[in-house]
Structure 1
Amino acid sequence: MARTTRRAPASPAVRRAARTALALAAVVAAALTTVAPPAAAAAPGTAVSSVAPAPRAARNPVIFVHGYNADPGVWGRMTGDFKAAGYTDAELFTWSYDTHASVNEVLSGRFAAYVDEVRQRTGARRVDIVAHSYGSLPTRWYLKNGGGTAAVGHWVSLGGPNHGTGLAWLCAAWDQACRDMTPGSYVQKGLAAGDETPGDVKYATFWSSCDEFINPHDSVPLTGAVNTPAGCLKHNELLTDGGVSADVRAFLGR
């Protein structure tokens, strides 16, 4: 039969030391479960800031409106410039419409509905508008007579027949849009009456001394708008010129 060896009981001093060691171990374990992990070390020479970067100021979505006998495809170059400058697809929209319909009776109301759709989709309180040529007229009518000043922040006209163009007489006999673009038409008189740039909307126009479709050239500028000569550009070159595109973006940023 094996002999059992009994250990002598520990002295009171040894028992006290053991209890102290166990208590210290418990404190250390608790501390390790509550202390956050250390922040990643910064690169040499880089200051670590605890201040979060300021969010980018919200900007309005932009609606591009093409001109007579055109379609949204004409905006490819300019929307590309906007994207290169930081805009996203979710901020850029193009409105397609029948360019032979009446400005005041048809198009301005349809455009108002599209603005409401864009605002609902984006959650924006206001939109910005960039219009080329004939697209300037239904968007202006919306601003002046359709309550649009409450929903628009900036409005830009590129080569718009804002006071009519004599060239429209060539097709006025059979086309309503041409009739609306003729000098002295019902639409032109309605847009020119009173304030040409109503509300707190910021207005801008760009016109060219070589525009072959707007006659006279000074039909484009509006009283109360930032009116910018674009040099000698053809009517459709206002859509693709890099300088005009940059100036438009700068204006929308004001």
Structure 2
Amino acid sequence: MQRATRRIATALTAIAGSLLLSLPLATAPAQAASHDPVVFVHGLSSDASTWDDWIADFEADGYSSSQLFAWSYDWTKSNATTASQLSSYVQTVLARTGASKVDLVVHSMGALNSRYYLKNLGGTAYVDDFVSVAGVNHGTSTAALCGWLYTSCKEMTTGSSFLTALNSGDETPGGVSYAAYWSNCDSAIDPDSSALLSGATNVGVGCISHTDMNNDHGVYQQVRDFIG
């Protein structure tokens, strides 16, 4: 009787083992992609909506809307004033997301207030990647058209005291990864080379207009890969 019981138990164990082997292995749930929050900074005579195309592209490539922050500010003010406001905004983003750092993606004059934040207001501690898209990093002769109207525009004029101080010493301070994307036919930045940054990854994107630089999909793909 005992032998028969053992045979039955052995047979049942073998059947159970076969059934377990035939079941598909459980897989761990896919981990959501981890990204730094991205803060987008517009330029002169613009607003947050200038980033709508790229925000849609980032979302299509796996970012959530809660990781993407297009910031608007009063572009007529001094870039130093705007930089202080940007500093506060970045802290708000970090508090909201729980992240330790953000990526800054900026266009045109946005490069000046953002770089002032990095250089003079401790921003390098809170920024992982900095991307300048058609940034007026070394000024432009075209700023003379509006320099008499707006402080911010006067600061963009080639050789201004603001730019001289901003570009003195290290143009890419701290442990931030810097990139600058520039066009060889940007009529808003004269000369075109003013968009380059010493110490950054400088990338020529060909002939793309100033206003198209931050909604061009090809430029977007390069920026996405840089901060990705």
* TM-score using structure 1 length: 0.79
Query: 1:160 aligns to what?
Result: 135
Correspondence 1:1-254 to 2 at 5 A? 42=23, 48=25, 52=28, 55-56=31-32, 58-104=34-80, 106-253=81-228
Question: What stretches of structure 2 of length at least 5 have no aligned partner?
Answer: 1-18
Contact 2:33 2:62 in 1 (8 A): no
Q: Give the alignment's TM-score, normalised by structure 2.
A: 0.88
Asked if structure 1 preserves the Cα contact closer than 8 Å seen for 2:35 and 2:63, the reply is no
For residues 164 and 205 of structure 2, the distance between their equivalents in structure 1, rounded to whole angstroms, comes to 26
Q: What corresponds to 1:35 in structure 2?
A: none
Any conservation in 1 of the 2:39–2:68 contact (CA below 8 Å)? Answer: yes
- Equivalent residue letter for 1:227: N
SS of residue in 2 equivalent to 1:212: coil
User: What letter matches 1:162 in structure 2?
Assistant: N
Once the two structures are superposed, residues 208-227 of structure 1 have per-residue CA deviations (whole angstroms, 9 ceiling, x without a partner) of 01111000000011111010
More displaced 10-residue stretch of structure 1: 119-128 or 168-177: 168-177
Q: Which structure is larger by alpha-carbon Rg, 1 or 2?
A: 1
Per-residue deviation, residues 149-199 of structure 1 (Å, max 9, x unmatched): 000000001111100000001111121011110111121011111100000
Rounded Cα–Cα distance in structure 2 between residues aligned with 1:167 and 1:250: 31
The CA distance in 2 between the partners of 1:39 and 1:177, in whole Å, is 70
TM-aligned CA deviation for residue 58 of structure 1 = 2.8
Decide which moves more: 169-178 or 108-117.
Answer: 169-178
After superposing on structure 2, the runs of 4+ consecutive aligned residues of structure 1 that deviate more than 6 Å are 38-41
Q: Classify the secondary structure of the residue corresponding to 2:213.
A: helix
Q: Distance in 2 between matches of 1:39 and 1:77?
A: 50
Amino acid at match of 2:90: V
Aligned length: 215
What one-letter code is carried by the residue in structure 2 that aligns with 1:114?
Y
Q: Percent identity?
A: 45
The structural deviation recorded for 1:40 is 11
Name structure 1 gaps, 5 residues minimum: 1-37
Equivalent pair of 2:171/2:199 in contact (CA under 8 Å) = yes
1:156 counterpart SS class: strand
Q: 1:216 to 1:40 in 2, by over 3 A?
A: farther
Alpha-carbon shift at residue 57 of structure 1 (Å):
5.6
Secondary structure of 1:187's counterpart equals helix
* Mapped partners of 2:204, 2:53: distance in 1: 20
Q: CA RMSD in A?
A: 2.3
The 2-side partners of 1:202 and 1:63 are apart by 15
Instruction: State the distance in 2 between where 1:193 and 1:121 align.
Output: 34
Describe the SS at the equivalent of 2:212: helix
